[in-house]
Amino acid sequence: MSHRLTVLAAALMLAGAAHAADQIKVGFVSTLSGPGAGLGVDIRDGFNLAMKQLNGKLGGLPAEVLIADDQQSPDIAKQTADKFLKKDKVDFMTGIVFSNIMLAVGPTVFENKTFYISANAGPSQYAGEQCNPFFFNVAWQNDNLHEAVGKVVQDKGFKNVVIVTPNYPGGKDAVSGFKRYYKGKVAEEVYTKLGQLDYAAELAQIRNLKPDALFFFLPGGMGINFVKQFVSAGLSRDTQLFAPGFSADEDVIKAVGAPMMGMFNSSHWAHDMDNPENKRFVADFQKEYNRLPSLYASQGYDAALMIDGAVRDVKGKVEDKAALQKALEAKRFKSVRGDFKFNTNHYPVQNYYLRAIGKDAQGRITNKTMGTIFTNHADAYVAQCKMK
Amino acid sequence: MTQLFLEQALNGLQFGLMLFLLAAGLTLVFGIMDCINLAHGSLYMVGAYLVAAAAQAADSFWIGLGAGVAGAAVLGLLLELSLFRQLYKRDHLSQVLATFALILIANEAVRIIWGAQPVMLNPPEALSGPVEIGNFFYPAYRLVIIGFGLAVAGLLYLLVAKSRVGMWVRAGASNREMTEALGINVQALFTAVFVFGTALCALAGGLLGPLLAVQVGMGESVLILAFVVIIIGGIGSIRGALVGSLIVGSVDTLGRALLPTLLRALLPADAASTLGPALASILIYLLMAGILFFKPQGLFPARA
C-alpha cells in the first residue's frame, strides 16, 4: 500500500513539473562572515523581510530560500553556487556582495541558464561586452554612485583630491566612475588590499599630500576602520571626506558615530524617501530588526519583489526562460527607490541623490537627502553591450 | 617630509611590536618544547574576544584588557594541562594536526558564542584623537600601543637575560635533555612558558582590537606573519623575535607606503597600481627567503 502511494506521489510530482512549477527555489549566496558581513546580512534581512510580507510566497507560489555564506571567498561562492544549481536546482540566484566573487560565479550560473538577480555587485564587465540575458542588476552599475560623488566634488569646487579604494574590480570601477565626472587634480590613487583593516601607512601618505578632499570607497568593515583611523590621525581638520553611499550608510554610521557628521555621500535610495512602498519598508524593517535599513537592505528587498513580480507575470511557468526574461525586463514591481526602468544591458536607469550625515528629528545620527545629482542616469558601458 | 618619515617609522614600530608580542610566545613554545602550535593565532583571537566582551561588560577598556588577558591566561593553562602536555613528545605531524583542529574548534566556538559579524571594540575616549607635538601629529592610541610593546620587550629582556627562570628557559631552548638532567622541573617550566605566551597573545589581540576588528579568523593571517618573524629571527630566540618583528613591521609598512609611488615613476599608472600592492605584500616573503639564503638558522639561532 505504502509502495503504491509513493508511486502515486512521484507521478503527481512529475505531472506538476511539466506545467507550472509548484515551488520557487532561490539560491542566496552572500558574504555573512568577516569584515564584509554587514553588507550580506543587510541584503539577507531585506530579502527576508519581503518574503515575510509576501507570506513566504514568490509570485503566489510557495518559495524556499536557500541561504549560504561565501566567507568573501570566490572559491567557496563558486562551490556553493554549483551545489545550488546542480543539486538543489534553484530557479533564481541572488545575494552576492562583491564584484570579484560575482565575476567568478557568473559563468556557471549563465551556463546553467538560471537567472541571476544581483542585489549588489554591478561589475562593468557584465554591463558592457560580457552582458548576459541571464544577468539582471536591481541596484546599480558599480560606477554610478561614484560618478555621482565625482560630480558633487567637481561642483563644490574642490581642486586636489586623493582617492582610496581596494585593489579589486569594484575598486577599479569606483575610480573610473569618479574620474568620469571629477575633472580636477587627483594627487594620488591609493589602492589597498581588499579586506585591509589597518590604514596607518596610507594615512601618513595622505597627510603628506595635503588634499582638500578625499574620496574613498571601502565597503563594510574596511570603511569603518578607515574613517575611525582618519579621524584619530587628526586628518579630518583639513580634508573633507566624500564617499559613495556604501561607505556612509547605517552600518558604518552605527560603528563610527559622531565623526561621520557632515560627510556627503551619494545613493539611489535613502530611508527618508517619500513614497508609500518605502515608508512601509522602512517601518517594517525597523519593527523586525530594530535598526534603520541601509541601502543594501533596500536592494535585497527589491530583489525579492522583482522575482515575485516576474514569477506572477509568467503565472509560475519559470521553465519558459524567454517569457521569464521578458517579465524581468518589464520590471513588474514597485521599487522602494521610486520608479526606474531597466536598460538594454539589464542595469537600472534611475536617479541618484546627494545625502549628508547629520542628526534627525529624534537626535539619531543618520543620512538626510539633500537633492538630486543625476536624473534618469544610465551607465557608461551600455553601448558596448550586444544582448544576445 | 620629516613628518611623513617619522610617522611611517612609528607605524612600522607599532606594527612590529605587536608582531613581537605574538612571536615571543610562539618562538618559546616552538624553540623550547619543540612544539608547533598552529593554534597560537586562535589564542590571539580568543584573547581579543575576551577583552572585547569584558570591556563591554565593565564599560571600561582598561578593565576589559586586564580581565581579558587574565581570562586567556587561564584558558592557556587549561589547554596546556589537558592537551599540549600530551603533544610535546609526539612528532611534528601530530602537533600540526592537533593544533589545526584547535583552530577549527576555536573559530566555530567563537562563531557560536559571538556570531559571525565582527565585534566592535573602541579605544578609550581620551585616546581617540591625535597627539600634537608642534607640527607633528600622531594618533594617541597608537603611541600607547608602542608604549605597551616597548614595556613588554623590556620586561622580557630582564626576565630572560637576568633572572633565574630566564636562565632555565634559555638552557631549555639550547639543550632540553641536559637541563632536565640538571634537575630543573621542566614540566612546570613548560606550563609557565605556555601560559605566559598565551597572555602575550591576548594582550596583542586586545590592544589591536580597536584598530582592526575583532572577528572570526583574525588569527590566521597574523599567525603566518608570526611564523615568518620567528623563522627570520631564529627559532627559540627572544632577541631574534624582537629583531625579526621590527624588520617585518618596517618592511611591510615602508613597502606599502613607498612601492606604489616608486613604481608609478617607472610604469604606466594602471600597471603600477596593480603591481605595487601585489609586490608590497610579497616583499616580506622575499626578505625571508633572502635571510634564509645567507643564514639558514635565522639571525639569532638559539641552538647555535
Is the pLDDT score of A338 beyond 80?
yes
Of the pLDDT bands very low, low, confident and very high (cuts 50, 70, 90), residue B184 is: confident
Most confident stretch, A298-302, B256-260, B275-279: A298-302
Is the pLDDT score of A21 beyond 80?
no
Within 10 Å of residue A16's Cβ, how many Cβ atoms? 12
Q: What is the DSSP-derived secondary structure letter of residue B90?
A: S
Q: Which residues contact A232 (CB under 8 A, 6 or more apart)?
A: B123, B128, B129, B130, B139, B140, B141
CB-nearest partner of A191 from B111, B254, B260: B260
Task: Report percent pLDDT > 90 for chain B.
Answer: 55
Whether the Cβ atoms of residue B255 and residue B279 lie closer than 8 Å to each other: yes
pLDDT tens column, A102-134: 999 999 999 999 999 999 999 999 999 999 999
Distance of residue B212 Cα from the nearest chain A Cα, in angstroms: 5
C-alpha distances (whole Å) from A51 to each of A61, A91, A338, B52 are 12, 16, 20, 35
Residue B217 zone, left/alpha/beta (φ > 0; ψ -120 to 50; rest) = left
Nearest CA in chain B to A198: B212
Of the pLDDT bands very low, low, confident and very high (cuts 50, 70, 90), residue A197 is: confident
Q: Is the ipTM of this complex over 0.90?
A: no
* Best of A176, A226, A228 to mutate (most B CBs within 10 Å, chain B): A228
Is the pLDDT score of A196 beyond 80?
yes
C-alpha distances (whole Å) from A81 to each of A35, A102, B151, B287 are 22, 11, 50, 39
* Chain B residues inside the 8 Å CB shell of A33: 111, 116-117, 215-217
Amino acid identity of A285?
F
| Mean pLDDT of the B73-92 span | 93
C-alpha distances (whole Å) from A388 to each of A130, A385, B255 are 10, 9, 46
Q: Which residues contact A86 (CB under 8 A, 6 or more apart)?
A: A112
Distance of residue A330 Cα from the nearest chain B Cα, in angstroms: 37
Is the pLDDT score of A17 beyond 50?
no
Distance CA B160, CA B172 (A): 12
Amino acid identity of A58?
L
Distance CA B64, CA B187 (A): 31
Burial of B220 (0-12, 13-18, 19+ CB in 10 A): middle
Distance CA B248, CA B232 (A): 9
Is the pLDDT score of A46 beyond 70?
yes
**Chain A contacts to B (CB-CB under 8 A):** 32-35, 37-38, 41, 69, 167, 188-193, 197-198, 200-202, 204-205, 207-208, 221, 224-225, 229, 231-234, 255
| Mean pLDDT of the A264-279 span | 92
Within 10 Å of residue A359's Cβ, how many Cβ atoms? 12
Q: Which three cell numbers stand for residue B216?
A: 572570526
Of A240-244, A278-282, B75-79, B211-215, the poorest mean pLDDT is in B211-215
Whether the Cβ atoms of residue A55 and residue A270 lie closer than 8 Å to each other: no
Note the pTM of the prediction, 2 decimals.
Answer: 0.82
- Residue A258, classed as helix, strand or coil, is helix
**Interior CA angle at B50 toward B18 and B37, to 5°?**
55
pLDDT of res. A5 = 54
Amino acid identity of A184?
G
pLDDT of res. A9 = 53
Q: Which three cell numbers stand for residue A315?
A: 503565472
Distance of residue A21 Cα from the nearest chain B Cα, in angstroms: 35
* Chain B residues inside the 8 Å CB shell of A231: 128-129
pLDDT tens column, A148-188: 999 999 999 999 999 999 988 888 889 999 999 999 999 98
pLDDT of res. B148 = 96
pLDDT of res. A148 = 93
Task: Report percent pLDDT > 70 for chain A.
Answer: 95
Distance CA A256, CA A263 (A): 12
Of A5-14, A360-369, B258-267, the poorest mean pLDDT is in A5-14
Distance CA A23, CA A89 (A): 11
The domain locations on chain B are 2-294
pLDDT of res. A185 = 92
* Chain B residues inside the 8 Å CB shell of A232: 123, 128-130, 139-141
For B2-294, CATH gives 1.10.3470
Distance CA A164, CA A162 (A): 7
| Mean pLDDT of the A322-351 span | 93
Residue A157 zone, left/alpha/beta (φ > 0; ψ -120 to 50; rest) = left
Of the pLDDT bands very low, low, confident and very high (cuts 50, 70, 90), residue B303 is: low
pLDDT tens column, B50-71: 999 999 999 999 999 999 999 9
pLDDT of res. A18 = 41
pLDDT of res. A8 = 52
